[in-house]
């Protein structure tokens, strides 16, 4: 009882202790996952000038864009594209709001009319845009397809945004005219001329080895030019790749298996419980069936010319007689044995005209196909009968009956084209027939009435049957590669990565400067999981991980983590070192030069005095020295006959003397040059306005934190 009484007396104290313990636990978890401190960070992809881009809306747009892009773009590429669209929309919306510009109902009607003016479904009988048809289409879409209607709303929104941006750009351009004073300046920059004499002491006259540039020099330069050397957060990794590649033994086994198919053999047939004679590739009469049953590449029934054969074996194959074989040979990832099945003289090009009669179900026929196959065949037969007695009707029949829009305007004609350009059935008719032949061919597109109008350059072509086996690693090789990768992964946990790889004769590949939203690893391709791993919050330098990649494995190690901020001295050295070295060389040259005239400098430095004529400020280039803006600018600040002091130029240290000044001839009117200035400003608006607005915006990008991909 005494104990219980003491507990009751201290109950408030105990409650406080427990509460503090729970609170500290929650705080610890929050600080471990700092994003949990803000629910916003879990639901907001980014913020642009205070406007949030929600995760849900963003992902919906990414999904739609991915469906539209298909396999042509990766998810990360689509995500980045949508992000840029969202940022642009937010940046520009702020400008529209500030100026009070918008797209009203009447303007929207005009925009839709312009955009849809050539869409057949919105045109009346006279071929003019019909607003009533558009309204009917939108109403029907709203009733029958919520997804389709949402897509339409987005389309209208995009039209409006494009119009607003164009209006905004036009407003900015309207305020950027070229004045007459600017036109006069433009003219003078181009037309004021000076002639000079100069001596150049090139920086290359001092060997790089004589110029000492310290890390502190580079660090100081980076600090003074911080904006140029700001970098994003990044990671450095290195990796060893284990590829599942066929061994020499695997390749030899594949070749031997192919060779066995050449010859007749006896095999036990479990179905009939008896031995069975199997005809080999050399003796088979059913080449197509044999190849389709035994090859990784199906039989191709076309003839080919020598130019179409693999270059490494073209001579060997082309010179075979009918029935002879060549191989095994390696070609494009396969081992092959080829057999010449037939030889024929075939034109290398032909000219034809045709009429296409589609039927329901044929490819690309669309709404044009209204006949069944039997009806289409009857139509084609009827037209052919007429054409056989009167070929002059061919152009009229093309116009009236043919649905091949690629040839209708040309009288149904396909001018000279190479063998194997058309689908097989069409190709066989035009190249295996003779000039003047007229007939019907059925293809995936429908029935074609074809007339052969010309053939050129008959030459030898061969039909080849090829047994092919893809060169792939055996199960034993795949197992060995897995064991090698696993062994390296385990050993690298305790030994130096580089040293271990060297002992095993593995190539270590470094990849530096990986950004948080990157997806490609050089030499490996799209490997977004590797990038995500490198940026995980608990990833430490030295960590290892194995990744499954296409046809193999990759063992990666995190080498370095770089925070956002200024570029490191080591990374900046490649660009900063030449700049500082040039500055130090200029200082060294100045220290050693005592001369104050061109002649003395020429003698002292053993450099010739050169001349340059008609130099202008618009194009600050000196003949024999290259582009030297600062030197040219100095020349225009001197009087005729005046000599400059030493000038640190782009390519060396200079001394110049102005020998002649030729002012521009005054004009009565500078409007033409003012117009040029206005055009230059307009071009800058198109190329740089949005970039400037974006750089001035406050943009918070949380895509990497929420891992939307």
- The DSSP annotation for 177-212 comes to PPPHHHHHHHHHHHH-EEEEEEEEEEGGGS-GGG--
Residue spans of the domains in the chain: they are: 2-32, 45-173, 193-202+572-662, 234-245+473-563, 287-470
Helix (H, G, I), strand (E, B), or coil: what is residue 104? coil
Whether 613 contacts 622, CB under 8 Å: no
Asked if 234-245+473-563 and 287-470 have one fold, the answer is yes
pLDDT, residue 364, reads 65
C-alpha–C-alpha distance, residues 426 and 302, integer Å: 12
What is the third-level CATH fold of 287-470? Chitinase A; domain 3 (3.10.50)
For residue range 289-338, what is the model confidence (pLDDT) as tens digits?
A: 999 999 999 999 889 999 889 999 999 999 999 999 999 999 999 999 99
Cβ neighbours for 587, distance < 8 A, ≥ 6 positions apart: none
For residue range 110-125, what is the model confidence (pLDDT) as tens digits?
A: 899 888 887 888 888 7
Q: What is the CATH number of domain 234-245+473-563?
A: 3.10.50
Confidence of residue 361 (pLDDT cuts 50, 70, 90): confident
Choose the weakest-confidence range: 24-33, 334-343, 555-564.
Answer: 24-33
Inter-helix orientation angle 105-115/131-144, to 10°:
100
C-alpha–C-alpha distance, residues 482 and 150, integer Å: 49
Kind of pairing between the strands at 193-202 and 610-615: antiparallel
More confident residue, 7 or 74: 74
Q: In the numeric block, which tokens belong to residue 257?
A: 């298996």
C-alpha–C-alpha distance, residues 242 and 552, integer Å: 6
Cβ neighbours for 514, distance < 8 A, ≥ 6 positions apart: 234, 235, 236, 237, 521, 531, 534
Helices (runs of H) and strands (runs of E) counted in the chain: 25, 25
Average pLDDT, the chain: 89
Question: Which parts of 357-496 fold into alpha helices (H)?
Answer: 373-389, 394-401, 405-408, 424-432, 475-492
**Class of residue 118 by CB neighbours under 10 A (exposed 0-12, middle 13-18, buried 19+):** exposed
Q: DSSP for 600-616?
A: HHHHHHT---EEEEEE-
Choose the weakest-confidence range: 109-113, 498-502, 573-577, 650-654.
Answer: 109-113
C-alpha–C-alpha distance, residues 695 and 698, integer Å: 8
- Residue listed under structure tokens 């995760």: 55
For residue range 433-469, what is the model confidence (pLDDT) as tens digits?
A: 999 999 999 999 999 999 999 999 999 999 999 999 9
**Class of residue 405 by CB neighbours under 10 A (exposed 0-12, middle 13-18, buried 19+):** exposed
Cβ neighbours for 19, distance < 8 A, ≥ 6 positions apart: none
Alpha carbons within 13 A on the beta-carbon side of 663: 7
Question: Which parts of 454-597 fold into alpha helices (H)?
Answer: 475-492, 497-503, 528-534, 569-592
Whether 54 contacts 127, CB under 8 Å: no
What sign does the CA torsion over 166, 167, 170, 172 have?
negative
Distances (CA, A) of 573 to 203, 212, 214, 219, 423: 19, 13, 10, 9, 59
For residue range 477-522, what is the model confidence (pLDDT) as tens digits?
A: 999 999 999 999 999 999 999 999 999 999 999 999 999 989 889 9
Q: Given a cut of 70, is residue 664 above it in pLDDT?
A: yes
Closest C-alpha to 185, from 693, 682, 670:
670
């Amino acid at each position: 009882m005494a104990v219980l009484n003491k507990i009751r007396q201290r109950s408030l104290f105990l409650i406080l202790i427990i509460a503090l313990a729970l609170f500290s636990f929650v705080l610890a978890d929050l600080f471990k996952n700092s994003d949990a401190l803000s629910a916003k960070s879990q639901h907001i992809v980014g913020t642009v000038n205070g406007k949030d881009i929600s995760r849900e809306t963003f992902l919906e747009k990414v999904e739609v864009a991915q469906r539209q892009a298909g396999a042509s773009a990766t998810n990360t590429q689509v995500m980045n594209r949508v992000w840029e669209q969202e940022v642009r929309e937010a940046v520009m919306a702020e400008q529209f709001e500030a100026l009070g510009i918008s797209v009203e109902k009447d303007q929207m009607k005009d925009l839709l009319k312009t955009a849809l003016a050539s869409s057949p479904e919105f045109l009346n009988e006279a071929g003019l845009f019909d607003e009533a048809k558009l309204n009917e289409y939108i109403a029907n879409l709203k009733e029958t397809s919520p997804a389709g209607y949402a897509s339409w709303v987005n389309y209208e929104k995009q039209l409006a945004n494009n119009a607003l941006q164009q209006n905004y750009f036009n407003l900015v351009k309207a305020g950027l005219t070229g004045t007459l004073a600017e036109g006069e300046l433009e003219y003078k920059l181009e037309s004021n001329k000076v002639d000079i004499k100069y001596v150049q002491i090139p920086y290359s006259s001092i060997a790089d080895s004589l110029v000492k540039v310290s890390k502190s020099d580079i660090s100081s330069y980076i600090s003074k030019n911080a904006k140029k050397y700001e970098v994003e957060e990044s990671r450095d990794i290195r990796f060893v790749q284990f590829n599942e590649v066929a061994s020499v033994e695997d390749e030899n086994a594949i070749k031997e298996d192919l060779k066995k198919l050449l010859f007749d053999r006896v095999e036990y047939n479990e179905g009939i419980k008896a031995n069975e004679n199997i005809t080999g590739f050399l003796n088979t009469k059913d080449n197509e069936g044999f190849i389709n049953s035994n090859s990784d590449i199906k039989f191709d029934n076309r003839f080919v010319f020598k130019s179409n054969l693999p270059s490494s074996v073209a001579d060997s194959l082309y010179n075979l007689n009918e029935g002879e074989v060549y191989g095994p040979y390696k070609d494009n990832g396969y081992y092959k044995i080829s057999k010449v099945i037939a030889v024929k003289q075939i034109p290398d090009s032909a000219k034809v005209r045709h009429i296409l009669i589609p039927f329901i179900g044929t490819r690309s026929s669309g709404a044009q196909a209204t006949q069944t196959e039997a009806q289409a065949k009857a139509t084609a037969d009827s037209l052919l009968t007429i054409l056989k007695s009167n070929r002059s009707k061919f152009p009229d029949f093309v116009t009236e009956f043919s649905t091949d829009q690629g040839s209708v305007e040309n009288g149904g004609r396909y001018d000279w084209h190479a063998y194997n350009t058309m689908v097989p059935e069409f190709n066989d008719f035009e190249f295996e027939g003779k000039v003047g032949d007229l007939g019907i061919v059925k293809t995936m597109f429908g029935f074609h009435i074809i007339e052969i109008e010309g053939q050129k350059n008959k030459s030898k072509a061969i039909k080849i049957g090829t047994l092919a086996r893809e060169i792939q690693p055996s199960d034993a090789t795949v197992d060995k590669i897995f064991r090698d990768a696993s062994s390296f992964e385990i050993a690298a946990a305790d030994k130096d990565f580089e040293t271990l790889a060297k002992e095993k004769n593995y190539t270590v590949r470094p990849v530096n400067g990986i950004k948080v939203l990157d997806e490609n690893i050089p030499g490996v391709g799209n490997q977004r999981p590797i990038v995500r791993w490198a940026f995980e919050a608990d990833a430490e330098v030295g960590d290892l991980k194995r990744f499954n990649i296409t046809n193999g494995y990759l063992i990666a190690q995190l080498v370095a983590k770089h925070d956002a901020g200024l570029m490191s001295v080591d990374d900046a050295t490649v660009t900063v070192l030449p700049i500082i070295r040039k500055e130090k060389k200029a200082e060294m040259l100045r220290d050693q030069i005592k001369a104050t005239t061109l002649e003395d400098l020429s003698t002292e430095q053993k450099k010739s005095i050169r001349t340059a004529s008609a130099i202008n400020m618009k194009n600050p280039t000196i003949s024999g020295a290259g582009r030297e803006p600062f030197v040219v600018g100095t020349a225009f600040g001197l009087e005729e006959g005046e000599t400059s002091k030493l000038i640190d130029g782009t390519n060396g240290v200079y001394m110049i003397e102005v020998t002649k000044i030729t002012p521009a001839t005054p004009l009565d009117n500078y409007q033409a040059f003012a117009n040029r200035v206005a055009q230059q400003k307009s071009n800058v608006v198109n190329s740089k306005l949005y970039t400037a607005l974006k750089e001035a915006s406050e943009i918070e990008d949380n895509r990497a934190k929420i891992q939307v991909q």
